[in-house]
A = this chain, B = another copy of it.
Amino acid sequence: MARVAGVSQSTVSIVLAGKAEGRVKPETGRAVREAAESLGYRPNVAARNLRLGRTRTVLLVVPTLASPFFGAVYTGAARDAAERGFGVVVHPWPDDANPARSPVDIEAIDGVLASSIAGGVAGLGDVPLVVMDSDPADPAPAVNFDVTGGMRAITAHLAELGHRRFGHLAAAVDAWTFRVRGEVLAEAGPLIRRTTAIDVAAARAAALDLLDRPDRPSVLVCDDDLIAAGAYKAARTLGLDVPGDLSVTGFDDILVATAVEPELTTVRLPAEELGAQAMTALLECLDGHHPPGVSLAGELIVRGSTAPPANG
């Protein structure tokens, strides 16, 4: 670059890295910075990455960008990363557009944070890795929600209201978090279950199937807030009042939980905290340590969608 623009190469590097203190004349430093400024010079990231052998960049791998949940995970992770001078880029995976290519081959990175990856994390490659919201049986360090506790809070709340038999709208996704939800619910008492895509229209159809029958359950426990929105629609279709005729619960406490009416009783999952803790763990790994797994408690948020069953 600006070896033309004043003096010469290593000096430029030193100045622009902010290591000039006591090693470069203030005057020279200023000259370098001015030259860089006027030339619009930006150091070549690829070259730096190669030389240093590290990138100070972490890849956040998420199943989809269509859920605001992962925005919160990112926020937590990025905040924690910034404190240590790391940047975060995001990539959905597996990728319909490009099933073969692993996200770690797209960019030069130091490590990967993977959230809620249903199919498991094999095939990502051999990078330092921390998984979130994933099966604790995974070999990688894991930061998880206490899904069991969250679901138990829901069943306890419903039992206290007097509900005895649950309808379960289960997500048709083969992920640890949903398996656990189903298991815990099954332990809590008799239930009838339908699976559905995580999608309002599909959930509505599944809910109709569960409700349009003589022995319909007094409550629909939904694996996800979006599924609960579908349950609302089914209830309305059948002329059932929520929560008078039918209680509904969600899971996650994403945005839609307060956008619907009545607002949804759900379990708030601390997504930002998840991202932050996972980033902390990953940076530990990069320092050569082996951080322990973490489990984050959810919080039952009782809103207007649950009430005692109609007939006692």
Interface residues of A (CB under 8 A from B): 40, 42, 44-47, 49-50, 55, 57, 59, 64-68, 70-72, 74-75, 78-79, 81-82, 87-92, 95-98, 101, 103-108, 125-126, 200-201, 226, 229, 232-233, 236, 255-256, 258-261
Contact = CB atoms under 8 A, between A and B. Distances in A.
B49 A78 contact: no
Nearest to A232: B261
A38 to B, nearest CB: 13
Contacts of A233: 261
A254 to B, nearest CB: 9
Given A65-B70, A108-B46, A259 B57 contact: no
Contact of A40 (B89, B126, B201, B258): B126
13 contacts: A42-B105, A42-B125, A44-B108, A46-B55, A49-B108, A50-B50, A59-B89, A78-B98, A87-B98, A89-B90, A90-B91, A259-B259, A261-B261
A194 to B, nearest CB: 19
Contacts of A47: 50
Given A46-B55, A65-B74, A87-B98, 17 more contacts: A42-B105, A42-B126, A46-B46, A47-B50, A57-B106, A57-B107, A65-B68, A74-B92, A78-B95, A82-B95, A87-B107, A88-B91, A89-B91, A89-B106, A236-B261, A259-B259, A261-B261
